[in-house]
Amino acid sequence: MAKIKTSFFCQNCGTQFAKWQGQCTSCKEWNTIVEEVIQKPEKTSWKTNDTKSLRISKPLKVSEIDTSKEARIDLRDSEFNRVLGGGMVKGSLILLGGEPGIGKSTLLLQIALRVKHKILYVSGEESQKQIKMRAERINPNSDNCYILTETKTQNIFKQIENLQPEIIIIDSIQTLHSDYIESSAGSISQIKECTSELIKFAKETATPVLLIGHITKDGNIAGPKILEHMVDTVLQFEGDRNHVFRILRANKNRFGSTNELGIYEMQGSGLREVSNPSEILISEKDGELSGNAVAATLEGLRPLMIEVQALVSTAVYGTPQRSATGFNAKRLNMLLAILEKRAGFRLGAKDVFLNITGGITVDDPAIDLAIIAAILSSNEDVPIQSDYCFAAEIGLSGEIRPVQRIEQRILEAEKLGFKAIFVSKYSKLPESSYQLGIHKISKIEDLVEIIL
């Protein structure tokens, strides 16, 4: 019997070591190095009788390289296509990460049931019956989608050779294992090996592969960081599980921009593409309520009108509470300090609660002005007109600062029927005329004067 070979891998960055040590010299993490069994045969190819890999590539002039073959596959899901940069490139490897239960399997199964290409959905997590039950909720009649429950890569490649699918979906990379490596599924060396087999397969046959990846509790894709380096595209599916909205974004894309964003709504019959998110994010209400303001924000390249709600009340206990949902609490404290110091509002003895509706988290600084407006409105108990919206950042000295792509925000507000938008005095606006009124302000006092 051959001697079992082992090696030590850092579970954080994937670096291999000859012996155990307390700290990884590569990523400087402590206690991340674990012993794993490895067994490398001479040949670790996806095919057993491999002849193609003998081919040696030659240097070519850039102008000589043929790109016409890079036709994109239409996935018949406009949000997904957009995030990928206009469809899936043949031979590319796409990794989709997200929290458990967020809808990764649902999203990819839905695509599998929809496309017109022959597609193989390999699941290592659910049985064929379970997948069928899920498929019945989404779209029961599809002739192109094949389901395989298998976790061994060699068996999967055997089935692929028989079936010759045009697209492959793997749910999930952490459940796969290869015969060439002896450690358990989900370990660093298995993930690395299975991914490299899949990459080799994808590049040699020009078949695109979609991988689902689990994430760790701090939000990174489980497995070595090199996993993200190896694949062509890394997508992230996120949202609050208790809310219906899901956002698909590209963290890395070799074939398109990472600014695009897809928005879905989770329904009883799968995920619905949301082509006009602003309409849903602004809640319907009778009459005007104090403490509500609408911000014209941008998520990636997409304008999104988001409603901000604030509640300011006298603190019952000694220390006033400050809490924010969907917004950075530290930034909220900073905005409150600016209101206190620069605009003379005494909020020190008040509780302040802030909520971004729809369960989304906003990083765009352009939301600052709407937050201040909502807080002031709640504090004074004066409602803001529901057809007003805001787009500006607040500086530490209370100045209203311009934000990027202001024109796009104005156009979105106009499209949705807003009557006025508040922007910074220093915003560079093109010389065109808009139907909505543009209020240019430079200080918080100006805002107070107009809305209160």
Residues 433-452 close enough to bind Mg ion by CB under 5 A: none
User: Binding site membership for ATP: which residues?
Assistant: 98-105
Shortest distance (Å) from residue 290 CB to ligand TYD? 35
**Nearest of 49, 21, 47 to residue 34 by alpha carbon:** 21
* Residue among 71 and 133 whose Cβ is closer to ligand TYD: 133
* Residue among 183 and 236 whose Cβ is closer to ligand TYD: 236
Task: Tell which one of 22, 41, 59, 268 touches ligand TYD (CB under 6 A).
Answer: 268
Shortest distance (Å) from residue 147 CB to ligand TYD? 15
C-beta nearest to Mg ion: residue: 105
Total binding residues toward Mg ion, as defined by CB under 5 A: 1
CB contact at 8 A, 146 and 119 = yes
Residues 363-382 close enough to bind Mg ion by CB under 5 A: none
- Rule CB under 6 A: say whether 272 interacts with ligand TYD: no
- Rule CB under 6 A: say whether 134 interacts with ligand TYD: yes
- Rule CB under 6 A: say whether 140 interacts with ligand TYD: no
- Rule CB under 6 A: say whether 269 interacts with ligand TYD: yes
Total binding residues toward ligand TYD, as defined by CB under 6 A: 15
Longest dimension (CA), the chain: 85
Determine whether 376 is exposed, middle or buried from the number of CB atoms within 10 Å of its CB (0-12, 13-18, 19+): buried
Encode 104-136: b = buried (16+ Cβ within 10 Å), e = exposed. Answer: bbbbbbbbbbbbebebbbbbbebeeeebeebbe
- Rule CB under 5 A: say whether 151 interacts with Mg ion: no
- Rule CB under 6 A: say whether 105 interacts with ligand TYD: yes
CA distance 135 to 131: 6
- Rule CB under 6 A: say whether 101 interacts with ligand TYD: yes
The tokens for 355 are: 């909520």
Task: Tell which one of 87, 98, 208, 291 touches ligand TYD (CB under 6 A).
Answer: 98
* Residue among 121 and 390 whose Cβ is closer to Mg ion: 121
- Rule CB under 6 A: say whether 239 interacts with ligand TYD: no
* Residue among 266 and 423 whose Cβ is closer to Mg ion: 266
List the end-to-end C-alpha distance of the chain, in Å, as a whole number: 84
3-class secondary-structure state, position 83: helix
- Rule CB under 6 A: say whether 103 interacts with ligand TYD: yes
* Residue among 105 and 377 whose Cβ is closer to Mg ion: 105
The tokens for 274 are: 């949301």
- Rule CB under 6 A: say whether 213 interacts with ligand TYD: no
Residues 164-203 close enough to bind ligand TYD by CB under 6 A: none
- Rule CB under 6 A: say whether 377 interacts with ligand TYD: no
CA distance 198 to 211: 10
Shortest distance (Å) from residue 46 CB to Mg ion? 24
Among the listed ranges 51-59, 98-106, 221-229, 399-407, the one in contact with Mg ion (CB under 5 A) is 98-106
- 3-state DSSP helix/strand/coil percent for the chain, to nearest 5? 30, 30, 45
Give the number of other CB atoms < 10 A from CB of residue 287: 6
- Rule CB under 6 A: say whether 216 interacts with ligand TYD: no
Q: Which does residue 106 touch among Mg ion, ligand TYD, none (CB within 5 to 8 A, set by kind)?
A: ligand TYD
CA distance 241 to 171: 20
- Rule CB under 6 A: say whether 100 interacts with ligand TYD: yes
- Rule CB under 6 A: say whether 253 interacts with ligand TYD: no
Task: Tell which one of 75, 93, 94, 102 touches ligand TYD (CB under 6 A).
Answer: 102
CA distance 183 to 35: 9
> Crossing angle for the helix pair 444-451 and 329-342, nearest 10 degrees?
80
Q: Which does residue 128 touch among Mg ion, ligand TYD, none (CB within 5 to 8 A, set by kind)?
A: none
CA distance 179 to 41: 10
CA distance 375 to 311: 7
Residues 102-141 close enough to bind Mg ion by CB under 5 A: 105
Q: Output phi, psi for 7, to 5 deg.
A: -150, 165
Got the DSSP string for 145-161?
A: EEEEE--BHHHHHHHHH
Residues 6+ apart with CB under 8 A from 48: 154
- Rule CB under 6 A: say whether 104 interacts with ligand TYD: yes
Residues making contact with Mg ion (CB under 5 A): 105
Residues making contact with ligand TYD (CB under 6 A): 98, 100-106, 134, 137-138, 266, 268-270
